Structure 1
Amino acid sequence: MDPVVLSFQDSLLRRSDVSLLDGPCWLNDQVIGFAFEYLAAERSGVLREALAFVSPEVTQFIKCASCPDELALFLAPLGLASRRWVFLAVNDNSDQTAAGGSHWSLLLYHRGANRFAHYDSQNASNSPHARRIAAKLEPFLGAGRPPPRFVEEPCPPQQNSYDCGMYVICIAEALCESAGAEGGSPRLPGHAITPAHITRKRAEWSRLIRSLAQNDRCCSLP
């Protein structure tokens, strides 16, 4: 059995999902999707209406969609044209019909700067996927705007093959906090996200889920 541990807004976490945070494991869509939901609901503060955190599943659909009309219908509820910043988790899986992939990175749209910023902890290896998503999103960011620039941002490098998902979560969290503190373009603090920081954050997110599970009607973790 793989019981449900936590239901949080649109996210559903099972015991196997949460266990990925405890060991040297690659994070899946469910864990990253929960983190994005939590950041949007609990960490964005007064900027809540200015931010959009797009789930990994939706981002994958954006990348693989071939019908503009279908994509327009799918994206309408997100209201991207009114958001100042849009966070997306990029995966290197090119198959829309099956789960997979081996690397995560973060794509952030800055409306004020009119640019896509790509943060990749593995030397921009996800750049083709991020550029494809940016191109698909461009028509839905608001009429009358010039095409956004695409920029590869400096990013702390991962030191193993499995922490890319945690880098996505930690970079998104740091940028969200920076936007709230500065009120302008979010900036990634230099040298703040280290391998030790990533390890600590794995434990923090695991404890957070356990705490939320105690107040949830689903089964709680042992």
Structure 2
Amino acid sequence: MFSRLTLSTSSPHPALERMDPVVLSYQDSLLRRSDVALLRALTGSTTSASGFAFEYFAAELFKGLGEAAIFISPEVTQFIKCAACPEELALFLEPLGLASRRWVFLAVNDNSIRTAGGSHWSLLLFLRDGGHFAHYDSQSGGNSLHARRIATKLEPSWGGEESALCGEPCPLQQNSYDCGMYVICNAEALCERARVEGSPASLSRITPAYITQKRLEWCRLIQRLDRD
């Protein structure tokens, strides 16, 4: 099993439940009608969609990676970035056992407050074997500063030594709204590489047409899980 850490949220206002009801509760993720509508409309994705994808990778698609890999929810990643007290953050992260993980996946957003969201998403991956962070950004490094802030906050989890952050070549989005889907698809490809040691990460397959196809596949998956 993958380990997970999520932040508790307060119960939504009843009016929100009526206007934007939950269509799927999966592990620690809730998907609302608006989340699925954005995926289906091919015009964007949400924090909830990215969180759900990470949960699904952990519980189903890549559960064979076991304790070697961990997906950290977007909300927790944002909390890490904005945490002001190192001691409090260390206590918060202790249950994750990050020092023993080979792969740590984080979805980075460009918000400067503790709420996950903002206008751009990218993927940050810590590889313990190489002792460095790999940053996959579909807008050519637009989130580099945010990724560095997260990496710096996590360094004490690996003994306090500074870890290099490398901007990795990856497919670039051709519009202003597909960044969340690039995070999901890049993470999936990298997990496939981790599952088969030595195999290359096939990021080259992630084209605009592929992103559209994956949006529809995720919509069908959500519908299937909702029926189960």
Normalising by structure 1, what TM-score?
0.90
5 Å-filtered alignment, 1:127-166, equals 127-141=144-158, 143=159, 146-166=161-181
Tell me how far apart the structure 2 counterparts of residues 205 and 211 of structure 1 sit (CA, whole Å): 10
User: Is 2:97 aligned against 1:82?
Assistant: no
Q: Which has the higher helix share?
A: 2
| CA distance, structure 1, for counterparts of residue 186 and residue 214 of structure 2 | 11
Code of the residue aligned with 1:169 in structure 2: it is I
Counterparts of 1:88-127 in structure 2, within 5 Å, are 88-96=106-114, 98=115, 100-127=117-144
Structure 2: runs of 5+ lacking an equivalent = 1-17
Q: 2:131 & 2:116 partners in 1: Cα distance?
A: 32
Deviation above 3 Å: which 4+ runs of structure 1? none
Does the 8 Å CA contact 1:41/1:48 hold for their aligned counterparts? no
The 8 Å contact of residues 47 and 117 in structure 2, kept in 1 or not, is answered as no
2:185 aligned with 1:167: no
The runs of 5 or more residues in structure 1 that have no matched partner are 216-222
Q: In 2, are the aligned partners of 1:45 and 1:180 still within 8 Å (CA)?
A: no
Cα offset for 1:17? Answer: 1.3
Report the CA distance between 1:45 and its aligned residue.
3.6
In the aligned structure 1, how far is the partner of 2:103 from the partner of 2:200?
Answer: 12
Please give the root-mean-square deviation of Cα atoms over the aligned residues, in Å: 1.5
Choose the corresponding residue for 1:54, options 66, 72, 75.
Answer: 72
Report the Cα distance in structure 1 between the residues aligned to 2:56 and 2:117, rounded to whole angstroms: 24
Query: How far apart, CA to CA, are the structure 2 residues paired with 1:78 and 1:16?
Result: 31
1:48 Cα offset (Å): 2.0
Q: State the distance in 2 between where 1:99 and 1:179 align.
A: 27
State the aligned residue count.
210
The one-letter amino acid paired with 2:91 is L
Distance 1:49 1:40 in 2: 10
1:11 is matched with which residue?
29
Q: Which has the higher contact order (CA 8 A, sep 6+)?
A: 1
Q: What corresponds to 1:201 in structure 2? A: 214
